[in-house]
Structure 1
C-alpha cells in the first residue's frame, strides 16, 4: 500500500457520508481521493467512477464494488478495532481495501481498472453499463468487493422476482359453479410451486435453488367468485438457470395443474436492467489461487477459504469472465444480521488485512 493512503482513515470518512438517498457526496469523496493520489478518475454517463492504469498487452483486471447503501443512515461509532455505521461493511469497507490495492500497484504486465458503481442496492444500472455498449470493460478478471470476512467467494445464487397471475370468471358467490374461481386455483398452483425443484439436482457448491411465495392478492368483494388471483414469488437460482428459463418453466408447471378454464401468466418484475443471475467461477483459476494465497498468508487462521457467497451480487454481470467476491466484514455473525442491519460494523484490522491481500494478489497478477 502507498504511504499516503490509509484505508481505515478513508473508510471512517466514507462511512460518515450518507449515501442511501444520493451517492453524489460519496462519489465526490472517491473522485477527490483518487485525484489527490495522482490518478485521473472519470465519472461515466451511468454514474460509475472509473480509473485505469497499465498496459493493454496483458491481462485486464477490474476491481469493482459500490458506493450506495440501504437506508437509513446510522450514527458512526468507533470503539477500539470496531467501526460501526451504515456502509461500514456493505460496501465501503471492501471499497477501502480495493482502493488501497489500486493505488499501491503499478501494473507492468497488464491493465488494472477500478470501477465503482452507484446503485447496486437497487437496479444496477451502473454495473450493467460497465459490460455493455462502446465503453464496456471487456476485462479478463474481476474482484468484486463485498463482506466475505476475507474468504474468496467464487459462486453465488441469483435472484429473480415475478408475479403469477391466475384469471377466471366472476360470479355471485351463491352460484359458485357459474364462475371460475381464480383464488381457489391457487391451491393447485402452490402445490406446483412446492414441487417445482423436486427432480432438480442441487448445484455442487451452491446447493438447491429456492422458490418462495412472498405475497398474495385477489378478489374484489366478499360475496363474489374472484376472477383474479396474484402470487408474488422470490427465486434464488443456481447455474445454469436463467431468468427467462425460469419464467417459462414456472408458467408451464402451473399450467399443467390448474383447471383448464383458469388463465395462467407468470411475469418477471419489470426492471431496466437484467436480474442478478447465478455465477460460478472455476475454483482452480489463477485469480482464485492468487487471492486465496494472499489472504491466508496475511490474515487470520482460516482466511482465504474458497466458498460461495451468501447473497446475490453484481458479480453476476461480469461472469462468465473469472470473477470472485472478496472483502472485510460479515453479512451476518453469531449474533445475527450485520450488513443492512442497525448494528452494521467492520473491524479496522480486517480492512487492513483485506487491503494487503488484494494488493498482493493484484501485484502478482498484473504488477
Structure 2
C-alpha cells in the first residue's frame, strides 16, 4: 500500500483517548502490517490498560531508530466532515490525525522494503504522546540499556523540514495561602488571588532570563487560576472555595506551564523561584504537584549533515515556534546522540478541526525514509 492510501487507512481507525476509545485498534493494525515483513521481528510492549507500543527490529543492535506516535487529540465539535472518514480534496487528505501524525506513520510504513536493508533498524510506534507520554516513558525504561542507536528520526515533523531542537516542558499545580479579612478593610487580609498574579508576573520576568542561543528565552503560561475563601477539600481531593464578595480570598490554586530553553531550569528550580516571589507578596506555597519535568533538546545542525544531504535544499524548523517534542526523552536516554524530526505534517493545522495534510508532503516524506533506510552511510 502506498503512503497516501496508508494515510487514509490510518485516519479511518480512531486513536484518540477517552472512556471508550484508545490506540489499541490502530496499534493492532500496525502490528499486523509489520508482522508480514519477513526481515522484521515485531513485538507488542504493554504500557497500561490494554494499550501497547509496537516495536519492530531487524537487529537488537540497531544503528537507526525510527519513531512515531499512534494517538491523536480528541475530535472537536467544529469539524465540517466526519473526523475519521478521510477525504481527498484539493491535493490534500482531510481527517483527524492526518497531519499529526498518521501521514508520518504512513511515510515510515510505506518506506519499508521487501528485502532486508543494509541498515540495522528498529522502529517504535508508541501510545500516549498527546496526553502524558506513557508510551515513550515505557520504551525508554525498558530499552535504555538494551540498545544504543547512532541516529534517531521521528516522523512527527512539519512540512518536510528537519527539526533539531525544542524547548522542554514543565507543568505543575500549586496551592497558595493568603489571609482572609473583611473586604471593607483590604489591609485586614492578604488577597491570595491578586497577590498571586503579582508574584507570577515577577516570576515570568525571572524565567525569561533562562535562555539559550538556539531556543531563545524560556516562557511561562499561567494556565489556570482559581481562588476564594478556603472551605477545605472535598472527598475527591478538590479544593472547595467560597465566593462571598465581602471576604478577602485566602487561598488560590494555579496551574503553570513553562517551556525551558536552558537545561538549568528544572521544575525544582521553578518551584524555588515561585516560593520566593510568593513570600515577597505575603503568601505561602503550601502544596505543589509536578506533572511534567522535561528538559530541552538540541542537536547541532552539523551532526545531521549526512541525513540532510538526502534532501535537495533541506529546510529546518524554527525551534522557537514549536512545542515540546518527546523525541527529547530519547535524546536524553541515549546520551544525546543525533536526533531529528522529519515529517509531512502541515504546521498550520494540527489539533484543529478540519485537519489536513498536503499529498505532496506525504510522498516526499515516504521518499526520504526509503532513502534513509537504504543508505547505511548516512548513519
Give the TM-score normalised by the residue count of structure 2. 0.81
Q: 1:114 aligns with which of 115, 123, 127?
A: 123
Q: 1:354 aligns with which of 354, 365, 373?
A: 365
Q: CA deviation at 1:51?
A: 0.3
User: In the aligned structure 2, how far is the partner of 1:157 from the partner of 1:278?
Assistant: 4
Alignment-derived partner of residue 149 in structure 1 = 159
Is the counterpart of residue 124 in structure 1 residue 142 in structure 2? Answer: no
Is the Cα contact below 8 Å between 2:299 and 2:340 reproduced in 1? yes
Q: 1:52 aligns with which of 32, 53, 57?
A: 57
Is the Cα contact below 8 Å between 1:216 and 1:231 reproduced in 2? yes
Q: 1:318 aligns with which of 297, 322, 330?
A: 330
User: In the aligned structure 2, how far is the partner of 1:275 from the partner of 1:75?
Assistant: 37
Is the Cα contact below 8 Å between 2:209 and 2:218 reproduced in 1? no
Is the Cα contact below 8 Å between 1:127 and 1:314 reproduced in 2? yes
Q: CA deviation at 1:290?
A: 2.8
Q: CA deviation at 1:283?
A: 1.3
Structure 1 segments unaligned to the other structure (5+ residues) = 297-301, 333-337
Cα distance change on mapping 1:120 and 1:167 into 2, 3 Å: same
Q: CA deviation at 1:28?
A: 1.7
Q: For each residue in 1:42-89, what CA deviation from the matched residue of structure 2 results, as whole angstroms up to 9, or x when unmatched? A: 111221100000473xx6211001111111144311125311101111
Q: 2:86 aligns with which of 76, 80, 85?
A: 76
1:25 is paired with a residue whose SS is: helix
Is the Cα contact below 8 Å between 2:170 and 2:294 reproduced in 1? yes
Q: 1:327 aligns with which of 337, 343, 360?
A: 343
Q: 2:69 aligns with which of 66, 71, 81?
A: 66
Q: 1:282 aligns with which of 300, 308, 318?
A: 300
Cα distance change on mapping 1:198 and 1:34 into 2, 3 Å: closer
2:98 is paired with a residue whose SS is: coil
Cα distance change on mapping 1:284 and 1:291 into 2, 3 Å: same
Alignment-derived partner of residue 305 in structure 1 = 316
Q: For each residue in 1:97-123, what CA deviation from the matched residue of structure 2 results, as whole angstroms up to 9, or x when unmatched? A: 1223344673435x2101000111111
Task: Report how many aligned residue pairs link the two structures.
Answer: 342
Is the Cα contact below 8 Å between 2:267 and 2:290 reproduced in 1? no
Give the TM-score normalised by the residue count of structure 1. 0.84
